[in-house]
Amino acid sequence: MRISLFVPCFVDACYPQVAMAAVEVLERLGHTVEFPEAQTCCGQPPFNTGMWNEARVVARRHMRVFEDAEAIVALSGSCGAMMKVFYPELFSGDADEPLAREISSKTREFSDFLVNVLQVTDVGASFPGRATYHDGCHSLRELRLKRPPRTLLENVRGLELVEMDEAETCCGFGGMFSVKFPMISSAMGEVKCDSIEATGAEFVISSDSSCLMQIEGIFRRSGRPRRCLHLAEVLASRGSLPG
Amino acid sequence: MSAPSREFHRQARQVTRDLNHRSFVQKALDGYYRKRDEYSARFRSWQGARDLAFEIKFDAINHLDHHLEEFARKAEARGTRVHWCPDGGAATQTILEIARQNNVRSIIKSKSMTTEEIHLNDALEARGFGVFESDLGEYIVQLRHEPPYHIVFPAMHLTRGQISDLFQSELGSAPTNDPEELTMIARRVMRKKFCEADMGISGANFAVSETGMISITENEGNARLTTSLPRIHVAVLGIEKVLPRMEDLALFLPMLATSGAGQALTGYNTLIGGPRQSDEADGPGQFHIVLLDNRRTVILADPEQRDALHCIRCGACLNVCPVFKNVGGHTYGTTYPGPIGSVITPHLRGLQSWKHLSAASSLCGACTDACPVKIDIHHHLLRNRRNAARKKPVWWERILFAGYIVLMRSPRLYRLGLRLGRIGQKFHPLVEGTRLDPLRAWTATRALPPLAKTSFREQWKARRR
Ligand code: SF4
């Protein structure tokens, strides 16, 4: 299958290893990966701020970049949900509404794509360690992807997966919310980090690098660093720690 | 920034820092989660029940005119007086009139958020009426001169010790840590008030249009006394409380109990169908129903957010909301705190003054999943944000996103931006986390992820070569 990869702007800039890992996993499974280089951002920041005109400008451009894609794989539940769930509402009544619907139906978050489109549950990865999985809210509640990432992780050799009490509780990131209401956002992040810590896991895995940015940021600032990894990094692993 | 927004920020800063508050609320809710899960699992299908509840409420709200008129007709047929009140002022005036005409002196109340919404107690007290809350939680916050912390558990923020101290100073009781003893202290005071009261004011959980009855749900039995002992009973209810049929209660009563308090069924469920009839021995001689609009029709007129009127005020969305749990109920400064309050308050009290509540959310959606009547709560927050920005965009957001568009439209500028960012990053440690740090909103509590030496797109290019 010809797969067009959507690498969210902050993953491109801060976490290139995540996208490289995803490419590796998909290629290993025998698929052709394309990276449309004109892509930048999906438009979620202005959309969530309520500036839908501004969001439409950027989202429209983003849709054109992926117009000819056969399948779009988004490396973030949040940005994936933007394209899959929110584009149709954003372009409702607009000339580009049909395109928005088409892009929506072609877009899948990474774990969703592996498990539900490619029907792969074991990618042959091995990763020694004890880890807990954080459900990003968009993955969990907009895309309803509670199981796919866990199915994939359960088949990673050497990995011990432990659930935290607050697995489904928001980490507090929320995009602009994190800087508009830093006190609330940080308190939510602390609750999350305490719950992670209580599991004794060395690693935190998620399908959303933005949540991990928040979680890792709080752990590091409070002097109790913990390795945070995107699902793709774990799935690309062949026994040794990535990075 | 509006005054309510400034106040919200100030209190949020205070409460989020309070680790005692954080763990206390968490513990208070832990038992609720367990019970809620236990009892929702007893439904043949909880999700199916939610779907059905949504449909029933959808019909009720989308044909509100019809159902309300039927409700009023049926109620009046049994001697109930129905008062249609467009706003809080009219409702208060109506109730004051009833009290004056009947030489009322002392008023007893059972729990009602709708009367909180119109500040009825203040108005009655200002006119010289004695008003006593008979719900234990409400009584406690009344003694403390503060609004309810939560729409179902008004005093959930208080420890037993705090309540004991309060009773000691206000009622002169002996200190105790025993919940039963505390209840008995309040009960002794309340009993006297019940006997003295000549008017009882209640809310209602549902209004059944088929029969013209109101349904009240409670755990303490105080609402039964409030509505049956005094010679006059006034029920204040929002127009959205309507359910078309009596049989709908078979779904809504257990649902409200499960979502609201983690119970199979609430302790007392009472249906009231009118004042004392000629062949009846007791009960209030007068029964008045005050039907309150107070801008609910503004929500009704908005097809996108009309489902916000489905709300049965169960509080489930508050209980699962991480923002509510971290900032607490009082920080909102609204009658209805938590997710549903953040949705409806901008409609009820002005979008520009209250839009900050819609922004103060990570949009995690826990509320929407918890809501028994399937209100699209967190997406409505997003729609409130859109409506607010459309009418009056914030100047700095306009500038920010104008710059963002320029950057995101041109991959070349985007790459240049990245390169500049990497240079800036070298100097950032000099100011990181200090007052001079332009990224302080993030870095005061969180480390910043470094920009990678080479971005993915650069690595991709190199790989293709
Ligand atoms: S919005 Fe839903 S969950 Fe929240 S109080 Fe109303 S009915 Fe309950």
For residue A176, what is the domain's CATH number?
3.40.50.11810
Rounded to a whole number of angstroms, the distance between the first and last alpha carbons of chain A is: 28
CATH number 3.40.50.10420 is the correct assignment for the domain at B61-294? yes
What is the model's pLDDT at position A228?
Answer: 96
H-helix or E-strand containing B344? Answer: helix B338-349
Boundary-marking domain end, from A64, A93, A117: A117
DSSP string, B170-234: HH-PPP---HHHHHHHHHHHHHHHHHH-SEEEE--SEEETTTTEEEEEESSSHHHHHHHSSSEEE
CB neighbours (10 Å) of residue B184? 12
* A197 and A232 belong to one structural domain: yes
pLDDT digits (tens, 9 = 90+) for A152-192: 999 999 999 999 999 999 999 999 999 999 999 999 999 99
Q: Model pTM greater than 0.90?
A: yes
Counting every residue written for chain B, the total comes to 465
Region of B283 (left: φ > 0; alpha: ψ -120 to 50; beta: rest) is left
When pLDDT is averaged across residues B224-228 and rounded to a whole number, the result is: 96
Range of the domain at A167: 126-236
CB contact under 8 A, B361 and A174: yes
When pLDDT is averaged across residues B246-254 and rounded to a whole number, the result is: 98
The DSSP output letter for A146 is S
Cα B72 to Cα B67: distance, rounded to the nearest angstrom: 9
Q: Residue A22 carries which side chain, given as an amino acid letter?
A: A
Structural domains in chain A (count): 2
Residues of A in contact with B409 (CB under 8 A): 40, 57-58, 61
H-helix or E-strand containing A74? Answer: strand A71-74
Q: Where in chain B is the domain with CATH 3.40.50.10420?
A: 61-294
Percent of chain B clearing pLDDT 70 (strictly above) = 100
Does residue B309 have a pLDDT over 90? yes
Give me the residues of chain A with pLDDT under 70, please.
Answer: 240-243
ipTM for this prediction: 0.95
Strands (E) in B399-457, as ranges, are: none
Residues of B in contact with A243 (CB under 8 A): none
Is the Cα torsion angle B114, B119, B125, B126 positive or negative in sign?
negative
Cα B58 to ligand 1 centroid, rounded to whole Å: 14
For A39-61, b where at least 16 C-beta lie within 10 A, e where not — what string? bbbbbbbbbbbbbbebbbbbbbb
- Domain membership of residue A243 (yes or no) is no
Atom of ligand 1 nearest to the CA of B313: 5
What is the model's pLDDT at position B414?
Answer: 86
* A53 and A153 belong to one structural domain: no
* A105 and A130 belong to one structural domain: no
Parallel, antiparallel, or unpaired: how do β-strands A126-134 and A203-206 relate?
parallel
Does residue B380 line the site of ligand 1, with CB under 6 A?
no
Rounded to a whole number of angstroms, the distance between the first and last alpha carbons of chain B is: 52
What is the model's pLDDT at position B88?
Answer: 97
- Give the nearest partner residue to A58 out of B368, B388, B405, using CB atoms: B405
| Of the candidate ranges B139-148, B215-224, B426-435, the one whose mean pLDDT is the lowest | B426-435
Q: Is-contact A242 A233, C-beta < 8 A? A: yes
Torsion of CA B5, B7, B12, B18, to 10 degrees: 180
Boundary-marking domain end, from A117, A150, A182: A117
- Residue ranges of A 4-63 with Cβ closer than 8 A to chain B: 7, 9, 11-17, 19-20, 35, 37-41, 43, 45-52, 54, 57-58, 61
Residues of A in contact with B369 (CB under 8 A): 141
* A88 and A169 belong to one structural domain: no
Residue B34: band (very low, low, confident or very high) from pLDDT cuts 50, 70, 90: very high
What is the model's pLDDT at position B333?
Answer: 97
Does residue B238 line the site of ligand 1, with CB under 6 A?
no
Q: Is-contact A172 A214, C-beta < 8 A? A: yes
